[in-house]
Structure 1
Amino acid sequence: MKQDKRYICYPFMRESASTVDFEIRTDSLTTRIGEALALTEDVEKVHADLRYLQPLAYHLNGSVRGKLAITEEDLKRLSDLYDSYVEEVGELIEQFVLPQGSHAACVLHVCRSEAKKSVRALHKVSLEREVPVILFDYANLLANVLFVMAVYTNKVSGVDEIPFISKSYPVRKMKKQVEVN
């Protein structure tokens, strides 16, 4: 008897392999990037870059179960994006900051968090099967790109970052402080 597809949200849902959890995580990431797209129309650079990154998040998704769809060229372009945002935000990211600010920046912080969860899910997959290193590199770098995008979005929106000083971990001295001392 053929099963009615309306009762199946994802064909691999009942698998016990961690691959499913990774795929669900990266689906969530891709969805959150779509949410960020809806909020960044007035931040043209971020909006255009998210438009480029969204399908790549789905390519990351399928690269474990299916054919590897993340290339060295994709990784290089993501690295270049990271460098361009770091150049824009400079010393704003030399300290740990609270994930806050404009609505768009907050959603970008959620995207960053989803990307980190995807890295963790990918690690779980790697305990069960071989995972190409490029997928780890891409997923980790994607989380970092989403972070600097959030800081950049706050900057162009005129929202100040709020430093976070941990009571649990020692504070790293920033490079400029070290040079002065």
Structure 2
Amino acid sequence: MNGNFDFIAYPFLNDKNKMVDHEILTDKLSSTLGHIISMGTPLEKETWWLMDKVLHLNGSLRGKLAISLDDLRDGQTIYHVLKDRHKVAGFIYPVGNRLATQYHIARCEAKIVTRNLYLIQQSGIIVPEILLDISNLMANILFVMSLEVNRLEGFEEIPFESRSY
């Protein structure tokens, strides 16, 4: 049914480049963040901030750049406030309460978004450095968010001892 939008979930799904993958991956990440908000996170304000930035990241490759240096600075503030409450060295198991595990899932999704941006860049498409920076920062923020909700629930992180590293 050519031209009937009932049969078009997203107009770029048949693109051959990885740019559409970026848009789908950021859509997935924003949906995960929406799910976290629906669960009643104590980090609702920060999670809304992240979801907003993920959606701006979504269109910043194909469309107008919608991530700013102020966004990076705000993200770093969120990251450092939460990070400074935790002294985790090395790997931990991605466990804890329901919210913490959802933040771990979102962290993994953010890393997939970041990896895809690097692949897009390697394919010859210009990816502004600020998009790589915010994407990496998002994964780090999501990690400390998982630590913070575990801390608030009294869950002690469980170190993982790698035999590989």
Q: TM-score, normalised by structure 2?
A: 0.96
Moved over 6 A (4+): none
Aligned AA (2:126): E
Q: CA deviation at 1:40?
A: 3.4
The alignment of Structure 1 onto Structure 2 pairs a total of residues equal to 164
Counterpart of 2:107 (choices 108, 112, 123) is 112
1:82-101 to 2 correspondence within 5 Å? 82-89=79-86, 91=87, 93-101=88-96
Separation (CA, whole Å) in 2 of partners of 1:34 and 1:147:
17
Partner of 2:98: 103
Aligned AA (1:110): I
Partner of 1:58: 55
SS at 2:78's partner residue? helix
Partner of 2:74: 77
SS at 1:88's partner residue? coil
Partner of 2:162: 166
Aligned AA (1:162): I
Separation (CA, whole Å) in 1 of partners of 2:146 and 2:32:
13
State the identity %.
Answer: 37
Aligned AA (1:119): T
Unaligned runs of 5+ in 1: 170-181
Aligned AA (2:153): S
1:148-167 to 2 correspondence within 5 Å? 148-167=144-163
Is the radius of gyration larger for structure 1 or structure 2?
Answer: 1
SS at 2:132's partner residue? helix
Unaligned runs of 5+ in 2: none
Separation (CA, whole Å) in 2 of partners of 1:142 and 1:40:
20
Counterpart of 1:137 (choices 110, 133, 137) is 133
Separation (CA, whole Å) in 1 of partners of 2:19 and 2:95:
32
SS at 1:168's partner residue? coil
Separation (CA, whole Å) in 1 of partners of 2:152 and 2:45:
15
Q: TM-score, normalised by structure 1?
A: 0.87
1:119-154 CA-to-partner distances (Å, cap 9, x unmatched) read 011111112311100000000010000000001100
SS at 1:161's partner residue? coil
The answer to whether 1:67 aligns with 2:64 is yes
1:77-107 CA-to-partner distances (Å, cap 9, x unmatched) read 0001110001122x1x222101110000000
Separation (CA, whole Å) in 1 of partners of 2:117 and 2:126:
10
